[in-house]
């Protein structure tokens, strides 16, 4: 394991950071693809490329809780770096969790094997009014320190991706008390109590925008917004209730950091593509149920695409994985404006060798 220290304010650290920023900014492949520019091959990174499928991560989890890994800068940076022992991804994503900003809003969260649980779901107007606002600073926010420490140990040309949950997804967690198969509580609020829902989204937009801005100011070169639960909405409900706060969020982030690409991911996006393309994001990231060739026809050419290999393919034979990945590359890579990724995060039972194989296959791709 690499040893991380907290000396990122030293002259050596500052020099390294400056050199790294210069290296990343000089026509970086991933950033060019995010901006919709021509690239010689698709860049590749993998959602959850640091996580439970790696033995080093499992060893750390024996000693530390999941929240400790997220909230301890040295540990978060250490976990974020693990993938680079196995494969040269074209970007690193900081290790954290979608719900971390809610902790600063006074929300109590317990992480169990079945997922996060919120002890006091917000199901009344009074509860939403009492929800604390949150602001973040680069000096005191753990993820900012983790990003600075990660920068010191990454290859200097490798960009870092920050991330956060979308307003609707975080609102769903807060109202449901965790994940859900039916989302009846959040939908009941939307349909019966739209004003409290609007207030909740206002508070979330402010907090998430601040949380993403802190990550950018700490050294991330792009940010991804995860809308894990928006795919459960009908197109009409998405347009009316999930898209407007998302647009305000991206507008705020872009207002502060206009040159930083924003990636937007929806799990279950197929029926929402035309609306999601109105979010203001630079890159639309799709799950494996969407046909990217059809998506490309339905969105503006200025928007880049990311995705969308089924992560379960990494559990099968390398021959089948190669065939399916090559087909996706042949379909999407020649048109450019494309970032290779999975359609969801890497599954815990994935062999590390399969991730290695996939990254090498994409990085070796050449135009015919």
Q: With contact defined as beta carbons under 8 Å apart, do 274 and 286 qualify?
A: no
Q: With contact defined as beta carbons under 8 Å apart, do 90 and 358 qualify?
A: no
Q: Which residue in 8, 90, 97, 210 is the catalytic one?
A: 97
The pLDDT tens digits of the residues spanning 332-367 come to: 999 889 999 999 999 999 999 999 999 999 999 987
Please give the pLDDT value at position 1: 41
User: Does the annotation mark 238 as catalytic?
Assistant: no
The pLDDT tens digits of the residues spanning 170-184 come to: 999 999 999 888 999
User: Does the annotation mark 25 as catalytic?
Assistant: no
Q: With contact defined as beta carbons under 8 Å apart, do 125 and 193 qualify?
A: yes
Average pLDDT in the chain: 92
Structure tokens at 165: 């949950």
Structure tokens at 102: 């809610």
Q: Which residue in 41, 48, 151, 296 is the catalytic one?
A: 48
Q: Which residue in 173, 238, 264, 338 is the catalytic one?
A: 173
Please give the pLDDT value at position 335: 83
Please give the pLDDT value at position 21: 53
Domain ranges across the chain: 37-363
User: Does the annotation mark 35 as catalytic?
Assistant: no
The gap from C-alpha 300 to its chain's centroid, in whole angstroms, comes to: 22
Alpha carbon dihedral 175, 178, 180, 182, in 10-degree steps, equals -10
- What's the CATH fold of domain 37-363? TIM Barrel (3.20.20)
Q: Which residue in 35, 52, 248, 289 is the catalytic one?
A: 52
Sign of CA dihedral 267, 141, 173, 109: positive
Structure tokens at 167: 């307003």
Read off the pLDDT band of 287 (50, 70, 90).
very high
Give the bridge partners for 283, in sequence order.
263, 304
Please give the pLDDT value at position 26: 53
Q: What is the mean pLDDT of residues 84-91?
A: 97
Please give the pLDDT value at position 22: 55
Q: With contact defined as beta carbons under 8 Å apart, do 68 and 75 qualify?
A: yes
Read off the pLDDT band of 10 (50, 70, 90).
very low
Which residue blocks in the chain are alpha helix, DSSP H?
11-25, 29-34, 55-63, 66-71, 73-81, 100-103, 125-130, 142-153, 167-176, 184-192, 194-218, 235-237, 243-256, 273-276, 292-298, 318-332, 352-363
Q: Which residue in 61, 239, 252, 289 is the catalytic one?
A: 61
The pLDDT tens digits of the residues spanning 155-169 come to: 999 999 999 999 999
> Rounded to two decimals, what is the model's pTM?
0.93
Read off the pLDDT band of 27 (50, 70, 90).
confident
Residue 228's φ and ψ, nearest 5 degrees, are: -60, -35
Q: With contact defined as beta carbons under 8 Å apart, do 93 and 137 qualify?
A: no
Asked if pLDDT for residue 116 goes beyond 60, the answer is yes
Residue 272's φ and ψ, nearest 5 degrees, are: -115, 5
Give the bridge partners for 341, in sequence order.
308
User: Does the annotation mark 173 as catalytic?
Assistant: yes
Rounded CA gap, 167 and 243, in Å?
9
User: Does the annotation mark 61 as catalytic?
Assistant: yes
The pLDDT tens digits of the residues spanning 218-231 come to: 999 999 999 999 99
Rounded CA gap, 313 and 347, in Å?
10
Please give the pLDDT value at position 38: 82
Q: What is the mean pLDDT of residues 308-332?
A: 97
Please give the pLDDT value at position 180: 85
Name which residue leads in pLDDT, 314 or 24.
314
Residue with tokens 């026509």: 27
Nearest one of 299, 227, 223, 226 to 261, comparing CA atoms: 223
Name which residue leads in pLDDT, 368 or 14.
368
Asked if pLDDT for residue 11 goes beyond 80, the answer is no
Q: What is the mean pLDDT of residues 48-73?
A: 97
In this structure, the number of other CB atoms found within 10 A of the CB of residue 57 comes to: 18
């Amino acid at each position: 394991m690499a040893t991380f220290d907290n000396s990122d304010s030293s002259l050596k650290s500052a020099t390294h950071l400056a050199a790294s920023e210069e290296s990343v900014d000089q026509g970086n492949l991933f950033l060019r693809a995010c901006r919709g520019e021509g690239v010689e091959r698709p860049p590749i990174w993998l959602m959850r490329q640091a996580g439970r499928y790696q033995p080093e991560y499992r060893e750390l989890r024996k000693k530390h809780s999941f929240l400790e890994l997220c909230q301890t800068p040295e540990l978060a940076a250490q976990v974020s770096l693990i993938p680079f022992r196995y494969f040269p991804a074209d970007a690193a994503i900081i290790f954290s969790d979608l719900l971390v900003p809610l902790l600063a809003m006074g929300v109590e969260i317990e992480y169990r094997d079945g997922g996060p649980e919120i002890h006091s779901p917000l199901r009344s107007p009074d509860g939403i009014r009492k929800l604390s606002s949150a602001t973040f600073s680069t000096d005191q926010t753990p993820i900012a320190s983790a990003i600075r420490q990660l920068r010191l140990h990454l290859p200097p040309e490798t960009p870092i991706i920050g991330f956060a949950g979308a307003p609707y997804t975080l609102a769903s967690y807060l109202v449901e008390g965790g994940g859900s198969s039916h989302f009846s509580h959040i939908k009941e609020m939307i349909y019966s109590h739209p004003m409290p829902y609007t207030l909740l989204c206002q508070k979330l937009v402010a907090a998430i925008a601040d949380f993403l801005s802190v990550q950018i100011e700490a050294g991330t070169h792009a940010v991804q917004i995860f809308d894990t639960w928006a795919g459960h909405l009908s197109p009409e409900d998405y347009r009316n209730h999930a898209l407007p706060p998302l647009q305000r969020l991206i507008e705020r982030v872009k207002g502060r950091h206009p040159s930083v690409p924003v990636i937007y991911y929806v799990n279950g996006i197929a029926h929402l593509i035309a609306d999601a393309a109105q979010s203001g994001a630079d890159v639309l990231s799709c799950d494996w149920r969407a046909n990217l060739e059809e998506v490309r026809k339905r969105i503006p050419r200025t928007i880049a695409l990311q995705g969308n290999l089924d992560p379960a393919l990494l559990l099968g034979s390398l021959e089948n994985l190669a065939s399916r990945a090559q087909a996706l590359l042949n379909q999407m890579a020649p048109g450019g404006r494309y970032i290779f990724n999975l359609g969801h995060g890497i599954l815990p039972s994935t062999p590390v060798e399969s991730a290695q194989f996939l990254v090498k296959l994409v990085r070796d791709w050449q135009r015919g």
